Structure 1
Amino acid sequence: MEDSFIQLDDLPDEILTIILKKLPNYQVLYSLIDVNERLDTIAQDSIFTSYLTLVPCRNDLKQFTNRMLHRFCDKILPIIGYKIQWLNVDSSFMDRIFLSTIYPNLTGLGLYNVALETARDLFTNTSYFIHIFENQLSSLVIYINEREEPRSSIKDINIFLFTQIFAMFNNLQCLNLNPFDLRVVVDSYEDCLYLLDGRFNKLNKFNVTICSSNVPSLPLINNKKKLSNLKCFLLRHKSVLLVYNTFLIPLLHRMSNLEELSLYFVNHNTPIIDGNDLEMNIMNYMRKLKKFKFNIRSVISLNNQVYLPSHEYIQNTFKNLKNNQIISCIDYFPKANEFHCHIYSYPYTWNYYDNITNNFHGGLFKRVYEISLFDERSFEREFFLKIAKSFPCIEELRLHNREPQKNDNQQWSIIEYPHLIRLDLVQTHENYVEQFLNNTKVCLLNDIDLRVDYNTLQRVAGNFTSDATRINCSKIKCLFLYNEPELSLDLKDYFPLAKIC
């Protein structure tokens, strides 16, 4: 037929099906439905109809035309609507697609590129969308289009959507809401507990990020209802967790049927969390747990500490976790008067790795794009070579180290960070600023965002005349200066491509 994506020969059905599975389902349906009886039968197989995506990719924009949409709504969807179990839809097509036919077996729905106003209208009590799907959806994915929207508006719509969705969709088991990288973002411990107070007892997966570390002035919500249908729980705490025993442990004890658990937090002011603690307080309450991934840093004061555990002791506490590879790291920081114990499961599954010290064990972390480096001992060149090798895909690096390097004049091979685009050197000794800006030591990409103290930068760059740092400085796209006086012509000439902030 005209505009067909593919041309077919007289192949057996089995071979033809194998070939067609290489194509997106919507292309198969558009090209084969209503051509002839044989191709109709193949195209209407559940392989091509049970899961359908009608969201154009960037390189498909010209192909996904109004003519194609018209054919789907008039010809194709009325034929296969009863076979569709999961449907992904772009918001611009939403009304035409939903009203073109009925979807009696649809249990999963993805809504993409949804504007804030559209989201508000869609989830009101009088919406046709609610009337059609409120009793049949068990899984719902929503991608809010947050471009050019203020963060406060996104937070407001988050609250509205949660309130409406959980109140209206009686059979909902899984919700992914994305203004923040597919995570439910809440401000406080109380917000998390309100969402898990038992009224949405059919949820089986919950992914939450808690932003604030403020300890509630009032007692935490007294809720002991079991979350018996919850199979997967993922928690990240962006600040410092101060209520491990009073918030997190009681919450986890309500999830006795969990099969997958992921925890990421920094813990203050409680005993060190090690393998014994995790086994006694968490795993013993979750007999069905199959996957347990964690990244936990315990921080305690060195004051009045009679005994502090060794690395060997911490590692030995995980002897019963035979199916997991556990990495532990011990650090003492006399100036901060702190002891840190960092434990995490490996392979590492997070996209960020914070507070890497000289005791870093190495390894390969291909999924990590953001790292921060911190220590009270100097970072030498060997350390940065290890970082570059262990994190080949990093895009953002933050460095906090005030100690001068001991061997900064040694000759080494050039260190490369092939994907680095954001570099924060504000809280560093000038040795590290010089290292990253000297092209004989570090090779930077073009279009780097650099944050740095103005006085440190001026010294390292020889009052913006040094040739040693000129090449890397010419690659800076945005220069964020701290303690900056009035901008000089020398500075602007030294960073010819940079927007100076």
Structure 2
Amino acid sequence: IRVQCFDDCLYLLDGRFNQLHTFCVDLVNLHHPQEIKNHGDLPNLKCFVLSCKETCGYDELILPLLYRMSNLEQLGLYMTISIDTRYNDGFIDGNHLKRNIINRMLRLNDFKFHICSCMFIHNQSHFSSTKDIQRTFIDFPVNNIISYVDYFPEAERSQCQIYSYPSLTPFYENITNSFPGGFFKYVRVVSLFDEHPFEHEFFLQIQRSFPFMEELSVFNCKSQNKKQSYESDNDNQNLPLIEYSLLNELAINTVHDDYIEQFLLNTKTYLQNNVFLYIEYESLQRVTHNFTREDTRINCMKINKLKLRGERICRNSSLQAYFPCAKICYPGQFFFE
């Protein structure tokens, strides 16, 4: 089931469904509960799966909830965690999972997870490396674990991805150039972020790893390194075309112009019909040569909803003609069916 807040989750686990043995929940927002207490044993619960994109109360809310499930046999955790330095001085790693979950749940025999832990960088003297994190999984009871660490000095933050593979997660966030690849048939929502450029080959790898992706967000302000060499060699036509067969929502509103070209040029990308595009107006105007460019026109004709950032009212009559199938939404407006 999908619930809006942690209160809703606790309400369903307050004892009224005392015979409940399986509970799978997708949590939209993890806010501190306002009314319902997070206590009381849940001895009949055998299987619990929780997914939550943004988690600020992992130590205060999620762990105490798990400790109520004394007879749990199957557990799935899929979440992005903002590390609270009051409880942890490092990333969520294998040692943390053994100490705080596995060793406290004696009946647990099936544990699947995908956890991205994020921290701000504040004058630390030691930074965990990918090898440091991998060593914490040497004697882990789950065999195939993927882990890697990224540091973003400009944003002054860092992140660590750890997950059991093959993965059952419905989303994969903050993918960087460190992404090791793989096949993720359950993922529908993907976001990409890095302070190093994403090249065409990277997007090809993303498409192959997430063939059922429906929503994609890209955050990268660095220009592509290989773009100039492709253009000087007149090699654009030889690039493999990337086809997003199920993509219906694309957010490229915080990117360098190179990534707008990456998705709108019909020599690089094939979009299906009826795509919702979220983009910055001035960048779109530049890349499409004031809505006259021919090699971006085909993909723009496939957009059925266009949400513009930065331009409250567009007085350019060419915009609607360039997006003939699109409902156009400006800042402060909303789409109505």
* TM-score bracket for this pair, using the shorter chain length: 0.7 to 0.9
Distance in 1 of aligned mates of 2:47 and 2:38? 22
Instruction: Note if contact 1:388-1:415 (Cα within 8 Å) is conserved in structure 2.
Output: yes
Instruction: Note if contact 1:241-1:265 (Cα within 8 Å) is conserved in structure 2.
Output: no
Query: What CA deviation, in whole Å up to 9, does each residue of 1:380-425 have, x standing for no partner?
Result: 1121111111112222211111111112231322222222222111
Matched, 1:185 2:3: yes
Match for residue 314 of structure 2 among 486, 489, 494: 486
Distance in 2 of aligned mates of 1:313 and 1:208? 32
Q: How does 1:439-458 map to 2 (within 5 A)?
A: 439-458=266-285
- The alpha carbon displacement at 1:436 in A equals 0.8
- The alpha carbon displacement at 1:451 in A equals 1.3
Q: When you count helix as a share of all residues, which structure comes out higher?
A: 1
Instruction: Note if contact 1:184-1:208 (Cα within 8 Å) is conserved in structure 2.
Output: yes
Matched, 1:221 2:37: yes
What amino acid is the match of 2:45? L
Query: What CA deviation, in whole Å up to 9, does each residue of 1:330-384 have, x standing for no partner?
Result: 0101122111111111111122211111111100112222211111211111211
Change (3 A) 1:471 1:222: closer
Stretches of structure 1 lacking an aligned partner (at least 5 in a row)? 1-182
Instruction: Note if contact 2:142-2:164 (Cα within 8 Å) is conserved in structure 1.
Output: no
Change (3 A) 1:446 1:349: same
- The alpha carbon displacement at 1:186 in A equals 4.0
Instruction: Note if contact 2:10-2:38 (Cα within 8 Å) is conserved in structure 1.
Output: no
Alignment-derived partner of residue 280 in structure 1: 99
Matched, 1:472 2:289: no
Query: What CA deviation, in whole Å up to 9, does each residue of 1:271-320 have, x standing for no partner?
Result: 22111111111111222212111111111221031212111121121122
Q: How does 1:95-114 map to 2 (within 5 A)?
A: none
Matched, 1:377 2:196: yes
Matched, 1:230 2:45: yes
Same amino acid, percent of matched pairs: 48
SS in 2 for 1:436: helix
Change (3 A) 1:216 1:230: closer
Change (3 A) 1:216 1:475: closer
SS in 1 for 2:245: coil
RMSD: 2.0
Alignment-derived partner of residue 334 in structure 2: none
Stretches of structure 2 lacking an aligned partner (at least 5 in a row)? 330-337
- Pick 1 or 2: higher relative contact order, CA cutoff 8 A, min separation 6: 2
Distance in 2 of aligned mates of 1:367 and 1:394? 9
What amino acid is the match of 1:428? V
Query: What CA deviation, in whole Å up to 9, does each residue of 1:402-458 have, x standing for no partner?
Result: 111112231322222222222111111111001111111112222222111111110
Q: TM-score, normalised by structure 2?
A: 0.87
SS in 2 for 1:420: coil
Match for residue 415 of structure 1 among 234, 242, 247: 242
Instruction: Note if contact 2:94-2:136 (Cα within 8 Å) is conserved in structure 1.
Output: yes
What amino acid is the match of 2:216? L
Distance in 1 of aligned mates of 2:224 and 2:72? 48
Alignment-derived partner of residue 437 in structure 1: 264
Aligned residue pairs, count: 315
- The alpha carbon displacement at 1:496 in A equals 2.1
Distance in 1 of aligned mates of 2:188 and 2:169? 9
Query: What CA deviation, in whole Å up to 9, does each residue of 1:22-73 have, x standing for no partner?
Result: xxxxxxxxxxxxxxxxxxxxxxxxxxxxxxxxxxxxxxxxxxxxxxxxxxxx
Larger Rg: 1
Distance in 1 of aligned mates of 2:38 and 2:286? 57
Distance in 2 of aligned mates of 1:397 and 1:298? 20
Q: How does 1:188-337 map to 2 (within 5 A)?
A: 188=6, 190-215=7-32, 221=37, 223=39, 225-242=40-57, 244-268=58-82, 269-270=84-85, 271=88, 272-337=91-156
Q: TM-score, normalised by structure 1?
A: 0.60
SS in 2 for 1:472: helix
